[in-house]
Structure 1
Amino acid sequence: MTTPDTRRRRARLGLFLLATVLAALTVFPLLWMVTGAFKGPGEVGGTNLLPQSPTLDNFDYVFTQVPFLRYLLNSFFVSAVVTVIALFFHSMAAYALARLRFPGRDRIFLFIFATLLITFPAVLVPLFVIVRELGMLNSYAGLIVPAIFNAFGIFLLRQFYITLPTELEEAAKIDGAGYWRIYFSVILPLSRPIMSALAVFFFLANWNSFIWPLVITGDQELNVVQLGIASFQQQYSGKWEYVITAAAVAAVPTMLLFVFFQRQIVESIKTAGIK
């Protein structure tokens, strides 16, 4: 007869084995990609993870024979600018929807939240027409401006602001602070954890963007890193070591961001419950 302690130990063991299998399935493609970047011609398709003769020739080719560094800088510039501007405007919108009282506030929030149900392909054509009419095709503005608005950021920040104690704002009002002073001196300093997590989400979303840059840019000087990797697949379809090397280089910033901000990401997800 099994005891409750035995059943709990078996349950923990089963969960541990399941987590181990899921972790292995997640890490294996990444490990294969990283090790493949150091393999020579003809070794990438093999089943052996470790390269027979590690080489840096693939990295040398990627950065010297094609403008891959330019692609990286374009992605970094677009992602950083979108992240900074989006956090600024989203935090103001979320603060107004969470703290200020005005007619139609809840309906506006529901309308913004409902946009999360609309997929990007559904608005791709209208968005392209608007950008074309504004003369932003083949420009950094065309890459940046449409990516600024994100209902998820407003939703997550609003949920966080609702959890803040109202006594802080009341004390600031007693001291004579207005809404702008409260926002900059009280709300923003308290928002650093959630803003850090959102910065990671926004940066990664724009770093991995492919469809929108492909649609509005035709100039190679404006290619982002994902378009650069796609061009590698077209030009070097028989030389997968170059494609894998480019993909490994593009994955480095995303891995670093997760390593440094994983705690903020987990905390932001915990605070996203609807109140």
Structure 2
Amino acid sequence: MTTETLSLPMSTSGLQSRKKRRQANLAIAGHALMIVMSLFAVFPVYWMLVSSLRAENHIFDTALWPDAASLDNYAYALSAIPIWRMLWNTLVVSAAVTFIQLLTGIAAAYGFARWRFRFDKFVYALIGLTWLVPIQVVMIPNYLLVARMGLLDSLPALILPHFASAFAIMLLTQSMRAFPKEVLEAARMDGAGSWRTLWEVIVPNLRGIIASLAILIFISTWNEYFWPLLLSRSAENTVIQIGIQMFITQEGTSWGPLMAASSLASLPILLIYVVLQRQVIQSFMKSGIR
């Protein structure tokens, strides 16, 4: 009887120790897998930086670091195209589009979430359908509209078609519909009107979602290529993505300066990720599209 009684705790402790070892092994395997996947994700960025430091006649070397690193590609890229002006244009366009889409998205979402009107669901469905339309479908009509307004080869032309975002409206509408009704009723009883309720009650409590949405809009606008390519006529009025494309000509591709310009174009986004790492990850998790 005594032997059986003592064997039970020993067997239980043995099972617990095996369970802990199994969990530790799974954790090690998971971290090893994440390290390998991180290397696959980071290596193209590293190779871009390394290639930007290679000499033109060594651009296709397979060494992980050039024998003689040089900044000549950066000097050539800065002299060939107005990179700083293009980066500034890209920053202005991205910031303006982010601000405008947040403003129109918040206003439209508040209307859909707060009030009921005739055909409101139909209008909301139409807005959702516009999100499914590829930009190539509306690119030519938008181009004709901008051309008739005399805005070709200008920064306002890059901003104008992006005054509203169906994705921003839909995301904010769902967030505002989930907002506690008791808080809104308390604000109404305190004498707050619709405008004050929106900006003093709802928006401060949704700043996490708004910040995540702002990051998504900014990065998407920063990486846009086809619309600026259609409108741009001069290097001074275009964005950095078009500047990078200028190193690809019929005579060949200047890989070194192209990699240097690409590194400079990627630097602001990398800085945003380093500074706002948590918000960037949350933005992708909440959006559910990456």
Identify whether the pair has TM-score above 0.5, normalized to the shorter chain: yes
Aligned pairs (5 A) from 1:27-176: 27-176=42-191
Distance 2:254 2:149 in 1: 41
Q: TM-score, with normalisation over the residues of structure 2?
A: 0.85
TM-superposed CA distance for 1:236, in Å, is 7.9
Query: Does 2:29 correspond to 1:23?
Result: no
Match among 197, 206, 224 for residue 182 of structure 1: 197
- Shift in CA distance, 160/270, structure 1 to aligned 2, threshold 3 Å: farther
| 1:17-76, Cα deviation, whole Å (9 max, x unpaired) | 443332221111001011222222222211112121222222222223421111111111
| 1:63-102, Cα deviation, whole Å (9 max, x unpaired) | 2342111111111111111111111111111121122222
Amino acid at match of 1:174: M
Query: Does 2:275 correspond to 1:260?
Result: yes
SS at match of 1:42: helix
When the two structures are aligned, how many residues end up with a matched partner?
272
Amino acid at match of 2:246: S
TM-superposed CA distance for 1:111, in Å, is 1.4
Larger radius of gyration: 2
Counterpart of 2:12 in structure 1 is none
Of stretches 34-43 and 229-238 in structure 1, the one that deviates more from structure 2 is 229-238
Amino acid at match of 2:188: K
Distance 2:172 2:23 in 1: 38
Query: Does 2:222 correspond to 1:223?
Result: no
Q: Aligned-residue CA RMSD in angstroms? A: 2.3
Distance 2:24 2:167 in 1: 39
- Shift in CA distance, 110/13, structure 1 to aligned 2, threshold 3 Å: farther
Do the aligned partners of 2:153 and 2:238 also contact (CA within 8 Å) in 1?
Answer: no
Structure 2: gaps spanning 5 or more residues: 1-14
Do the aligned partners of 1:236 and 1:242 also contact (CA within 8 Å) in 2?
Answer: no
> What percent identity do the matched residue pairs reach?
34
Distance 2:274 2:172 in 1: 22
Of stretches 16-25 and 29-38 in structure 1, the one that deviates more from structure 2 is 16-25
Of stretches 247-256 and 185-194 in structure 1, the one that deviates more from structure 2 is 185-194
Do the aligned partners of 2:108 and 2:169 also contact (CA within 8 Å) in 1?
Answer: yes
Query: Does 2:241 correspond to 1:241?
Result: no
Distance 1:12 1:65 in 2: 50
Distance 2:185 2:227 in 1: 44
Distance 1:272 1:58 in 2: 38
Distance 1:265 1:159 in 2: 20
Amino acid at match of 1:35: V
Of stretches 138-147 and 2-11 in structure 1, the one that deviates more from structure 2 is 2-11
Distance 2:233 2:81 in 1: 17
Amino acid at match of 1:121: Q
Amino acid at match of 1:160: S
Counterpart of 2:213 in structure 1 is 198
Counterpart of 2:225 in structure 1 is 210
Amino acid at match of 1:217: S
Amino acid at match of 1:20: I
Amino acid at match of 2:151: M
Distance 1:163 1:269 in 2: 20
